Amino acid sequence: MQLTNQDFDDGFQNKRFELFYQPIISLTSPDVLAAEAVVRWNHPDYGVLKPALFLPQLDRLGRTGELTRYVLREASEACMMAQRQGIDFSVGVNVLLSDLLDGTMPASIGLLMQEFSITRRHLIIEVPHYPLERPNPRFVDTMAQLRGQGIGTAVHLGVDAFTGPAKLAEDIFTHLKISIPAVLEVEARFKGEGVDRIVDFLRRAKIQGITPIAVGAESAASLSSIDQLGFAGIQGNYISPPIAFNDAIDWLSTWSDVITDDRQAGGKATVPPLTN
């Protein structure tokens, strides 16, 4: 599949890029922490495309910044629309490292806050796995500015976060996102010591004001696999797959009703069923 500049021009101009939202729920309270935005391209010829199918070509064309700005705008508008319906909606937006190196992100987000009348806490800037032991100074400065302004910042970590002296970078990140498969691999690789490493890592993260989130809950078994480790939140298809904005609003409303009913009954909240 060969995508051209004309394809991307059409996608941006006709708003063929659509955001879907995957809720992140708290494991320590009855709250929904946020929702991670994922983008899908409704291509007129190729159908629905996931980012893996078009991001490499967008990157080769030097246009990833356009997609980042597009997604940030759509996510900001979604936060505004949710607020109008009485729902507090924070959104995590995945951003490529290259889009954070020119230093313009904090100011750009500030303008979006003004335009859509939302607060800075409604956006969380997420970056892919990053080597914390060899940070890029410009990246660190931008992320520190974002955090200092009250904007959420998150990084996705893998197994290597637990294989040596862990660096939490508490001056940069407000959230750590760790995949459940990575947790299971650490437990298997280090045997009994693996659990201790994870528990200690998450404990120190929370002490330093960082919210650790488990990613990839695909079943009840995957939920059980992280029980008692100390994660503050969780996301995955078992909780909810990525869903369109209106469905996400319905889901959040259902969750609110479940929480209210369970609080009145003195019970524990359960995940609301979702039918796609």
**Domains along the chain?**
5-244 (3.20.20.450)
DSSP 140-206: HHHHHHHHHTT-EEEEEE-GGGGSSS----TTT-SEEEEEHHHHHHHHHHHTHHHHHHHHHHHHHHH
Averaged over 92-98, what is the pLDDT? 89
Q: CA quadruple 133, 60, 72, 20: dihedral positive or negative? A: negative
Q: What is the pLDDT of residues 43-79, one digit of tens each?
A: 999 999 999 999 999 999 999 999 999 999 999 999 9
The structure tokens listed for 165 are 């002296």
Nearest 5°: CA angle at 271, between 211 and 219?
A: 80
Cβ–Cβ < 8 Å for 123, 146: no
pLDDT in tens, 213-230: 999 999 888 888 888 899
What's the pLDDT at 168? 61
The mean pLDDT value for 256-274 works out to 45
H or E stretch at 225 = helix 220-225
Residue located via tokens 């078009």: 54
> Which one is predicted more confidently, 192 or 125?
125
- The continuous run of DSSP H or E covering 51 comes out as helix 51-60
Across 68-72, 94-98, 101-105, 205-209, the highest mean pLDDT is recorded for 68-72
- Model confidence, pTM: 0.88
Contacts of residue 189, Cβ cutoff 8 Å, sequence gap at least 6: 159
Cβ neighbours for 163, distance < 8 A, ≥ 6 positions apart: none
Phi/psi at 37 (5° precision): -85, 130
Of the CA atoms within 13 Å of residue 79, those in its CB half-sphere come to 28
In this prediction, residues 111-119 reach a mean pLDDT of 92
- What token pair was written down for 132? 């914390």
Helix axes 64-84, 105-116, angle to 10 degrees: 30
Segment 16-40 mean pLDDT: 92
* Whether residue 270 has pLDDT greater than 60: no
What band does 262 get if pLDDT is binned at 50, 70 and 90? very low
| Plot region of 203 (φ>0 → left; ψ -120 to 50 → alpha; else → beta) | alpha
Q: Is a pLDDT exceeding 90 seen at residue 247? A: yes
pLDDT value of position 264: 43
pLDDT tens digits, 162-176: 776 556 666 788 999
Tell me which of 9-13, 60-64, 193-197, 272-276 is least confident.
Answer: 272-276
pLDDT at 275: 36
pLDDT digits (tens, 9 = 90+) for 180-199: 999 999 988 887 788 888 99
Choose among 153, 152, 103: nearest CA to 132: 153
CA atoms within 13 A on the CB side of 17: 23
Q: What is the mean pLDDT of residues 248-259?
A: 76
